[in-house]
Amino acid sequence: MASVTYDNATRVYPNTERPAVDSLNLEIADGEFLVLVGPSGCGKSTSLRMLAGLEDVNSGRILIGDRDVTDVQPKDRDIAMVFQNYALYPHMTVADNMGFALKIDSTPKDEIDKRVKEAARILDLTQYLDRKPKALSGGQRQRVAMGRAIVRQPQVFLMDEPLSNLDAKLRVQTRTQIASLQRRLGVTTVYVTHDQTEALTMGDRIAVLKDGILQQVGTPREMYDTPANVFVAGFIGSPAMNIGTFNLRDGYAELGEAKVLITRETAEAADGDQITVGFRPESLDVVPEGTDGSIPVRVNLVEELGSDAFIYGELAGSDELGEKLGSGEDADQVIVRVPPHSAPDKGEIVHVRIREGEQHNFSTKTGERLP
């Protein structure tokens, strides 16, 4: 096993002005499960392919353990990769697919059989070793691809959106299996996904990328509770955080009829007379009309999920404001989580207040988190 280090690693594709990955500095500990997450085109797969040796590093270095592998051929890096498409040989059995890389390396047949059977036992594939890939389900094929990586006993596992081709229920089941398997094997793993739910549930730590630039690295709880900037705040969490730009006035952040209390320290740190305020759907309490620091929300839709209910609405009077307060990118729809069977009717106005300690304040100019 080994650690992984990106040292100012940069990748610029030919005939492009902006780097796909820009001066990435990231240290991944030995045995850690790190998830690279971000929207399409953010550079997460490129970062993984740089580590695998499938993309050139234009500047900076990549190390596996203490060894600089920046210019080392992929086959000599002691890594194993699992792709989005399973890349199985259709004419080979499961056992032959899993052991093929070892066969190419001239590993003795007895050793290949031993490793394949052990991986099949771990992945619950023993009864399928004589089958061809076409006789397997999507989840079973993905496990075979995992087995092919396991038998190589590499220093690092690289996984590029391995669950994208699975249906929703199987995706949940398989991500649990992958996370528990990684912890059992203790192999350093770099996992790429655009699904922030996968990132929150699987990773020891998460690294969020945007436009090729690393935004924040931390544990799932750190990313959720203390996002470093507006982008991370809006990206991590489902449903997404409610975010809006408020005017600072007399110790409050105001937007139309909404008034949110702001501490003196935060107001002094804000650059100018505006501040960006964020709050998660579950961070709100329904309060009586006229309560100090409340936000009026006109209900447009109620979503009952059994254990929870979500109110989808808009800031009362927002039509005249021309300002947005809402969840998700370019959204003006406020989301509030309420106890089940207690949601108001469509068209009603409910007043909500942010719980103490669960408000997120950001600079409107830079997007960075404020104290």
pTM of the model: 0.89
* Mode of pairing for the β-strands spanning 156-160 and 349-354: unpaired
**What sign does the dihedral 203-329-24-69 (CA atoms) show?**
positive
Looking at the DSSP bridge assignments, the partners of residue 121 are none
Q: What is the pLDDT of residue 155?
A: 94
* 8 A C-beta contact, residue 316 and residue 296: yes
CATH number of 4-233: 3.40.50.300
Q: Torsion angle, CA of 351/278/327/257, rounded to 10 degrees?
A: 40
pLDDT for 124 equals: 86
Residue with tokens 């080979």: 92
Q: Cα separation of 266 and 363, whole Å?
A: 10
CATH for 241-362 (1.10.10.10, 3.20.20.370, 1.20.1440.230, 2.40.50.140) = 2.40.50.140
Nearest 5°: phi and psi at 263? -75, 160
Closest by CA to 360, choosing from 256, 266, 257, 264, is: 266
How far apart (Å, rounded) are the C-alpha atoms in residues 224 and 202? 14
Contact by Cβ (8 Å): 278, 327: no
Sign of CA dihedral 86, 92, 94, 98: negative
Per-residue pLDDT at 60? 97
3-state secondary structure 314-362: EECCHHHHCCCEEECCCCCCEEEEECCCCCCCCCCEEEEEECCCCCEEE
Q: What is the pLDDT along the chain (371 residues), one digit of tens a residue?
A: 799 999 999 999 999 989 999 999 999 999 999 999 999 999 999 999 999 999 999 999 999 999 999 999 998 999 999 887 878 899 999 999 999 989 988 889 999 999 999 999 888 899 999 999 999 988 888 889 889 998 988 999 999 988 887 787 878 888 888 888 899 889 999 999 988 889 999 999 999 999 999 999 999 999 999 999 999 999 998 889 999 999 999 889 998 888 899 998 998 888 889 999 999 999 999 999 888 889 999 999 988 888 888 999 988 876 666 677 888 766 788 999 998 887 788 889 999 999 999 999 999 999 999 98
- Based on C-alpha coordinates, what's the Rg of the chain? 24
* Predicted local distance difference test score (pLDDT) of residue 135: 93
Please, what sign has the CA dihedral across residues 55, 187, 160, 206? negative
Where do you find CATH 3.40.50.300 in the chain? Answer: 4-233
**Where, residue-wise, is CATH 2.40.50.140 in the chain?**
241-362
pLDDT given at position 192:
95
